[in-house]
Amino acid sequence: MGEVDTAFVQAPEHRPKSKVIVDEGIPLIDLSPINHQNEDTTPDSSILHLIQKIGCACKEWGFFQVINHKVSLEKRERIEEAARKFFALSLEEKLKVRRDEVNVLGYFEAEHTKNVRDWKEIYDFNVQEPTFIPPLVEPDDEQNVQFQWDNRWPQNPPDFKEACKEYAQEVEKLAYKLMELVALSLGLVPNRFRGYFTHNTSNIRLNHYPPCPYPHLALGLGRHKDTGVLTVLAQDDVGGLEVRRKSDGEWIRVKPISNSFIINVGDMIQVWSNDAYESVEHRVMVNSEKDRFSIPFFLKPALYTDVMPLEELLDDRNPPIYRPINWGKFRSARMRSNFAKSHVQNLQIYQFKFPKTESKSIN
């Protein structure tokens, strides 16, 4: 589910032998109360209850699943079919749109990264096209130039680009609506986060996990946390996603539910909320017999965004835990780490925490 640039880089992790609980799951939330809401009216009891459920899920799990979300099933099925056709192409054809260190969009196989235990191939595209990358260095630096990322659209299948763009519009609307609910659950105004996404760097990833003949030796995706703001995942009925439960550290298998989306909190919400909501570890297990396909949407702010605990949530009893994190520099450091050959740990948000003994002012 997560991105390669969100994975922890650790010692090789074979298929875990630890207990996995499958008889219970992450919270299932029905979004129908907001489907007919008049934005000019005060939220009724059903919406207030929904906001409470969102808050509890974010706090206790960092994950939840939604139904009645109003994303077009037709457009979802169309992008799923486009993904299947693309990954069925020859490797030579897919490599025509392969990503590189300059442009991180396009196709790659997991074995092309240092995280060699991952058993999958992916295709990435950005929601905003092109995505302009503003300068991230000092004004007098010679490297202070603006560049852009362009999506690398394959020629085949013919309707691939159109299917991707139509789906992106639908799921992006859902992500923003979810962020309004998250804001309300924190006691903030509904549009508190919206300004961070004017020049967003959100992307969609098409994942293909081929059948693995040695499932005891590999993972579809190793345990990791998502670095962005919010992830909206569409998965097929094969399943394989597991979430690490906060209460006891047990791995919980997420059961596929038809036409639902799996939502999880990213690192940036954890920082904005000052650890009220936490980004949680998850992983993907391989299947020895079936292909698995999934499509995560990663909501991400503009690169110039400085992410820090929100002032409205702070007081003398709850001082800021984190120093400001510039999203552009944070993301760039993570991407550089992915292309590095040395086995070093990626930059993590805990490295931006104030020392516990340090005095912090909220003024």
Would you give per-residue pLDDT tens digits along the chain (363 residues)?
444 333 333 334 444 444 555 546 899 999 999 887 666 556 689 999 999 999 999 999 999 999 999 999 999 999 999 999 999 999 999 999 999 877 889 999 865 444 446 789 999 999 998 777 665 444 444 444 556 778 999 999 999 999 999 999 999 999 999 999 999 999 999 999 999 999 899 999 999 999 988 776 666 778 889 999 999 999 999 988 999 999 999 999 999 999 999 999 999 999 999 999 999 999 988 888 899 999 999 999 998 899 999 999 999 999 999 999 999 889 877 776 555 544 556 789 999 999 974 545 554
Residue 278 lies in a domain: yes
| Cross-strand partners of 231 | 264, 298
Q: Is the pTM of this model over 0.85?
A: yes
Residue 223 host element (H or E)? strand 221-224
pLDDT at 115: 44
Backbone torsions φ then ψ of 80, nearest 5 degrees: -65, -40
pLDDT at 134: 60
User: Is 102 within 8 Å of 150 (Cβ atoms)?
Assistant: no
| Cross-strand partners of 118 | 219
Strands, sheet with 282-284, edge to edge from the N-terminal-most edge strand: 20-21, 251-253, 241-244, 282-284, 221-224
Residue 363 lies in a domain: no
pLDDT at 104: 82
Question: N- to C-terminal Cα distance for the chain?
Answer: 39
Residue 213 lies in a domain: yes
CA 11 to chain centre: 23
pLDDT at 20: 56
Residue 109 lies in a domain: yes
pLDDT at 245: 94
Which range marks the domain in which residue 160 is found?
4-352
- The CATH number given to whatever domain includes residue 87 is 2.60.120.330
User: Is 289 within 8 Å of 326 (Cβ atoms)?
Assistant: no
Ramachandran region, residue 254 (left: φ > 0; alpha: ψ -120 to 50; beta: rest):
beta
Q: How many domains does the chain have?
A: 1
Residue 357 lies in a domain: no
pLDDT at 269: 98
Rounded to whole angstroms, the Cα distance separating 162 from 308 reads 36
Strands 251-253 and 20-21: parallel
Residue 279 lies in a domain: yes
User: Is 297 within 8 Å of 329 (Cβ atoms)?
Assistant: no
Q: Where are the alpha helices (DSSP H) in the chain?
A: 45-60, 73-87, 91-94, 160-185, 267-272, 327-339
Residue 125 host element (H or E)? strand 121-126
pLDDT at 50: 96
- DSSP, residue by residue, 298-359: EE---TT-EE---GGG-BTTB---B--EEHHHHHHHHHHHHH-SS--PPP-GGGGBPPTTS-
